[in-house]
Structures are given as structure tokens and as C-alpha cells.
Amino acid sequence: MVHNVTLIHSIPGRTRLSLGVTYANGKEIEAVFRSFPYVYSASYTNETGSLLLYHDDCLTWNDLFLLLGQLFPEPEVVEKKEPMNAKIPFIEILVCFSAFMYETLKAASIPSQGLRNVTKASSLAVLLSSYNIFKNGFLSVMTTGKPNADTLTSAALLASIVKGNPKSALIIYLMSTISEWLTDFTAYKTRNYVRDMLSVKADYVWKVDHAGKEVKVSIDEITAGDQIVVFQGEKVVVDGTILEGTAVVDESSITGEYIPRELTTGEKVFAGSIVVEGSVNIRVEKAGDDTAISRMIHLIEEAQTKQAPIQSVANRLSEKLVPVSFVLAGLIFVVTRDWNKVLNMLVIDYVCGLKLSTATAISSSIGLAAKSGILIKGGQTIEKLAQIDTVILDKTGTITEGRPIVTKIITAESMSENQVLSIAASAEEHSSHPIAEAICNKAKEHNLDVPEHQEIDMIVGKGIKAIINEKLVLVGSKLFLADWNIPLEPLKKLNSEVNPEENIVYVAYDQQLIGIIILQDKIREGMKRSINQMRRHGVDEFIMLTGDRYHPAKKIVDELGMDAFIAEALPEDKANFVMNYKQKTDALMMVGDGVNDAPALAYANVGITLGTKRTDIAVETADVIVTTDDPLALAEVIKMAQKTMRLIYQNIVVTILVNSGAILLGTLGMISPVLGAAIHNAATIAVVLNSGKIIFLGGKASGN
């Protein structure tokens, strides 16, 4: 059943294989592999013929190879081929072509022995070098009963050789090889560029031993729970938390943010980032293939194997045109008996241009997005992104930063704003609650002298009780103050200035209500601009989903100019809303970052996670992972997808027009088979280069 098993990649617990050929009954394939010991699940992708296995960490690739050998006699296992693997045959053909042209010019119109010898040598070289083309072409007819692109090329090569003029065959081989190299090289360049950019290459790391001494060890010896030290100029090779020290860290390869950040105790660091200044002691949480950056690399590699619908359409269209070429060639021979016209029908086809240029454009786009910190899980996502007309965004952590800020302080008559803020900051000083952090940050921003507290007691879900200047201080909800019999008469004045649905913290000092602090989750910088840009790229409607209350939600929607919102939504409400809304449009994008967003992300046509605080389950569910906190990336990814699709359609039109024109001219006898082959292959090279410019020019030449 399995003729050619290719190992795509393997990490502990997870292996992806290419089965060499595709099978109609994918369920049977999955069932067979699930029967292997220690294999938990098997998922077969028919479009690519690839199989994803999840298995016990103890099961290695060598174990799988032995199991394959028992199940399928003598499977041929090969490593993935890199581009430029056909240099020697290509050089041989190039030499033959040069010799053929030299002898042709030398002999002029008089046949010579040298020309006859070169003709024979060229024919033999084409036959030997094109072995795989002949094999694939004839196997397709024998096994499926349908000719493919290689069948057509084989017929053209053989007809040219039988006719005694191998020049057409030489040109076909040379130019088709160049176009395939360009396609492979673009994919290779994309993959290697991203891998190099995200590389965490390091031979050693400074591990802190039990005695607290720094010891130089191999990176392979590092596991979760270890402590390491990273010094100035070194690359971080693990994911972890800073235990000690402060450093300026360049995280551009992870988040896409080019400005280095200052990180200190308690903050997270990721593999692939670089310590620009300072040094830090890190507790290792993930190492090796478990790091975020390694998972990014695997996601990118997997994405390049997933075909877009436009690729499937191009493939089906081109394959259906192959039999048409044979039929037309037969009709032309019957009518004209002219082998030159027949050969023109065989040397010109649509397959190469349609398939190669489309695959190159998709691969280049995935690579270009990855360079900007955007991971797209496959070509099908690019095509869907280009059609998006409705965007649904979660509020907390997506539209907003997920951390509140103080927006207003309302005081009783006897107190100033700074007095209320300094007393509240003293009480909240040692709390890790986001609201406490917002109050303390506001006090620091105003450079306030925060008084010391004598004692402090945190009442979960209500607030904080503290003693400051030997006076009772209460910071929390209105009910919390009522529990302590704080007179609430001043609330009438204070409440007249606020909406009760806002996020409010009440502050009491010495048995008196002295003020109200109003907080609001801060909108991400650039979110409004991103929404405006997405509107310019064809998005008609923006909807916000949030578990927050109506008034704070409406305030944000009005500020951003969004079209609608749903407040006080539970996770299942978000998922149901997205699922039901899909009945109105097939171009729906959902943006979120948390566990509660995962079901909604799965139901959307395109699910996107945004920001560095995204959860693992959201990453697994989403189709696009934006690793930066910049919301402008949402507009950029839609813009890039639309550019890519315009480029693909442009290539399809060019391929069809040029090759149809060449076929017409060849049928009328206005061009020779040699010129026909040159036109066809030149058009293929042109559209492949047009697609490749996405990665080589950064999309600059792709249009607006």
C-alpha cells in the first residue's frame, strides 16, 4: 500500500509522514496506523498525502520505520529533497544543447557527421535525464487511466526525438527544469529564511547547579525545572520565567516588535530572543522542541503543505486540459499530417504555469507573513482571508490590553484626587490583582508619596482592609463598605457623576467614604487605525463580543466606530453567535486570545489569535497566529492575502492567454515546435518569478 514513505518532521510525541501517493480511503489509512502500538491518533490529509501521528514519547522514528517494515514489505524511506538536486542531468543537457547549436551553425544547411553524432547524443541524454518524467507520465496512465502533465511532456519529448530533431526536447527539459527549480528554490528560501530568523542555534548554555555555580553544558541537557543564566549578547534558548536580574531583550523574532523590551523578575522570556543588555537567571519551563519558537517553525512547515482551494482548482483545470491536448494533437495529425503542428500541441500546455505559479505564490506568502510574526496555517487560509467581509473581535485581551487603567477619580469635598489615590495605592501595594496594579501605576505616574500601611488584610472577592496612620482604610466594592457600616450618604453626590455599570472602586478612610476610582480596560494602541484599514480592504462589519457589562462595552464600541456588540456573553454564547452568524456570510473572521475564545475561533471561517498573551488552546484552534501585540497586523494579513490572490489570478490569466496564443500560432504553422516550447516554458518561468517576488521583494511589487 505504501510505496514511498517520507519523513517530513518528527518531535517527541508527534510525527508527520508523506506517503508518497494519495489514497481515496483516508479512513482506512488512519485505522491502519492507529493499530500501531503506542500510537494515539492518526490524521490523513488527502490533498497532500501526508499523515500526522500523535504517539507516546517513547516511540521514535526508527521504531515507526520498523513497524512500517512489518506492515508494508520493504518500504522505501527517503529524506526530503532540497532544491537543486538535478544539477548533473541539467548540466549534461545544457552541454548537449550547446553542442547541438554549435554543430547546427557550423554545418549550416549541409548535414555533417558531427551534427548527426550530437543529435544521437542529445537524444540519449534527454531519454536518460527524463527517466522520472517518463516513469510518472506512463504510471499515471497505467494506474489511473488518466494522462497527467508528465504524460504530455513525455509524448512531446519522444515525438521530438523520433522526428530526429531533439532541439525541442532539449529546450523543454532545460526550461521546465529551470521553472521547477525556481519553485523549489522559493519554497526552500521561504523555509530556510524563517528557520534562520527563528533559529535558537547554540551549542551550550550556562546551567546553575545545586551549589549555585554556573556550569557550561550542552543545550540537550537542559530540561524543564532547570535554572540557566543568559548573559549580554547571548541568545535565549528556552521558554521560562526570570528569577533574578534585569535585561533589555530583543524579542523581534518572536513578537515582530523591533524595539527591545526591559524585562525583570517574574516576567516571561522566550527562546529565540536576544539579551541586548544585562543578564538574567531563568527558570526553564520549556526546552528543545517544546519551545514556542520550535512550534512556530513546525506550524510554518505544515502550513506550506496545505493547499488553498485555488490550488486545487488550478490542479484540476490543468489536469483536465491534458487529455484535450492529446485529442487536439490527434485531430491535427488526421487533418494536416503535419508533425510540426502535432508537436506544437504536445510541447505547449497549461499545467506547469498554473500549478507552479500558484504553489509558489502561496508558499511565498506564508513565508512573508512569518517574517512579520504572523503564522498562517495553510494556503486555504490565505484564500479565505482575501474574501473576509465581517470581523468579530473579543474585547478583553484582543481589542483591549487586558489590563485596566484609572480613567477618573471622584472625591468627597474634603479630599483631593491625589489624597484618595495615595491612600488607595498604599492599601493595594502588595496585591497582584490587575485593579491594584492599575491604582499603584497611576500613583507612580503622578509621583505621589504613598504612606506606609501598618497592617493589611485582603478579603477575597470584596476588597482590602488596611490600617494607615492608625486609621481604618477600606478599598473595594460598595457592598464591602456597607459590611463595615460606612455611611453611604456621599454616594448620592458621587453616583450622580458616574454610571453604576462602570468598573468602580470605593475608598473609605476613618469610617468615611472619601472617593471613587473609575477604571477601564485600555484599548490597544492602533486598534482604531486597524479597523479603519480593514474597512478600506473590504470589511463591511465589525462586531465585538465580551463578557463585560453593557455600558463599558458600548463605550468601547462607540470609541472605535464598530457596528454592533454583544455584552455579558459566556464562552458558549460567543461560539453560538459565531456559528449562527456564519449563516449570513461565508467570509467571517473571529479574533481572540483566550481559552474562552477557542470554540468561537473554531466555528469562524478564519480564526485569529492576537498578542503575546494568547493561550495554547487558542493557538491550536486558530488558523492564523499573530505573535505581536500590534493590531495593525490584522489589516496587514488581509491586505497580504488579497495581494496574493490578485497575483494568482494574474498568473492564471497570463498562463492561459500566452499558451492559448502559442497553441493557435502552432496550429496555423506560424511558429516551430522549438519556438512553441520556448514560449510555453518562458511563460512558466515568468509567472513563477512573478509569484516568487512576494518573498524576495517583500510584496512591494505585488500591488497595493
Proportion of the chain above pLDDT 90, given as a percent: 14
The residues near 129 (Cβ < 8 Å, ≥ 6 apart) are 89, 90, 92, 93, 173
Nearest to 687 by CA among 430, 392, 358, 341: 358
Known catalytic residue at 394:
yes
Is residue 409 predicted with pLDDT exceeding 60? yes
Choice among 150, 394, 597, 630 that is catalytic: 394
pLDDT the model gives residue 642? 93
Which has the higher per-residue pLDDT, 674 or 498?
674
pLDDT the model gives residue 250? 78
* Average pLDDT of the residues in 171-193: 63
Calculate the CA dihedral of residues 15, 20, 21, 23 and round it to 10 degrees: -20
pLDDT the model gives residue 565? 94
Confidence class of residue 20 from pLDDT cuts 50, 70 and 90?
A: low
Report the C-alpha gap between 493 and 512 in whole angstroms: 14
Which range has highest mean pLDDT (69-78, 246-255, 288-297)? 246-255
Q: How would you class 285 by CB atoms within 10 Å of its CB: exposed for 0-12, middle for 13-18, buried for 19 or more?
A: middle
Which has the higher per-residue pLDDT, 443 or 434?
443
Report the C-alpha gap between 396 and 434 in whole angstroms: 13
Nearest to 291 by CA among 271, 273, 315, 319: 271
* Average pLDDT of the residues in 42-58: 69
Which range has highest mean pLDDT (27-36, 48-57, 417-426, 446-455)? 417-426
Least confident of 236-240, 334-338, 582-586: 334-338
pLDDT the model gives residue 55? 74
Confidence class of residue 437 from pLDDT cuts 50, 70 and 90?
A: confident
CB neighbourhood size of 359 (10 A): 24
Least confident of 114-123, 404-413, 508-517: 114-123
pLDDT the model gives residue 665? 85
Is residue 531 predicted with pLDDT exceeding 90? yes
Q: Position 38: which residue type?
A: Y
Confidence class of residue 78 from pLDDT cuts 50, 70 and 90?
A: very low
HSE (CB half, 13 Å, CA atoms) of 304? 26
Is residue 416 predicted with pLDDT exceeding 80? yes
pLDDT the model gives residue 703? 44
Report the C-alpha gap between 418 and 437 in whole angstroms: 16
Domains within the chain, CATH numbers bracketed: 4-79 (3.30.70.100), 204-290 (2.70.150.10), 401-522 (3.40.1110.10)
* Average pLDDT of the residues in 131-155: 73
Report the C-alpha gap between 527 and 557 in whole angstroms: 11
Least confident of 122-131, 201-210, 374-383, 465-474: 122-131
Is residue 491 predicted with pLDDT exceeding 50? yes
Determine the 3-state secondary structure of 211 from DSSP: coil
pLDDT the model gives residue 267? 87
Is residue 474 predicted with pLDDT exceeding 90? yes
* Average pLDDT of the residues in 132-159: 73
Helix (H) or strand (E) holding 418: helix 417-428
Least confident of 132-146, 363-377, 516-530, 543-557: 132-146
Nearest to 399 by CA among 542, 288, 256, 215: 542
- The C-alpha cell 519551563 sits at 285
* Residue 698 grid coordinates: 517583500
Confidence class of residue 347 from pLDDT cuts 50, 70 and 90?
A: low
Nearest to 598 by CA among 610, 607, 588: 607
> Do 176 and 164 meet the contact criterion of CB atoms below 8 Å apart?
no
Report the C-alpha gap between 596 and 189 in whole angstroms: 37
Report the C-alpha gap between 7 and 19 in whole angstroms: 9
Determine the 3-state secondary structure of 614 from DSSP: coil
* Average pLDDT of the residues in 469-478: 90
* Average pLDDT of the residues in 7-29: 65
* Average pLDDT of the residues in 665-690: 79
* Average pLDDT of the residues in 687-701: 69
* Average pLDDT of the residues in 200-227: 79
Which has the higher per-residue pLDDT, 700 or 56?
56
Alpha carbon separation from 339 to 119, 173, 329, 349 (Å, rounded)? 18, 20, 9, 17
pLDDT the model gives residue 342? 72
Report the C-alpha gap between 525 and 545 in whole angstroms: 19
pLDDT the model gives residue 1? 41
Which range has highest mean pLDDT (82-91, 421-430, 498-507)? 421-430
Report the C-alpha gap between 395 and 527 in whole angstroms: 11
Which has the higher per-residue pLDDT, 2 or 56?
56
HSE (CB half, 13 Å, CA atoms) of 168? 32
Confidence class of residue 85 from pLDDT cuts 50, 70 and 90?
A: very low
Which has the higher per-residue pLDDT, 123 or 270?
270
pTM higher than 0.85 for the full model? no
DSSP 26-91: HHHHHHHHHTSTTEEEEEEETTTTEEEEEE-TT--HHHHHHHHHHHSSS-EEEEPPPS-TTHHHHH
> Do 227 and 207 meet the contact criterion of CB atoms below 8 Å apart?
yes
Nearest to 248 by CA among 281, 277, 280, 279: 277
* Average pLDDT of the residues in 59-68: 66
Confidence class of residue 704 from pLDDT cuts 50, 70 and 90?
A: very low
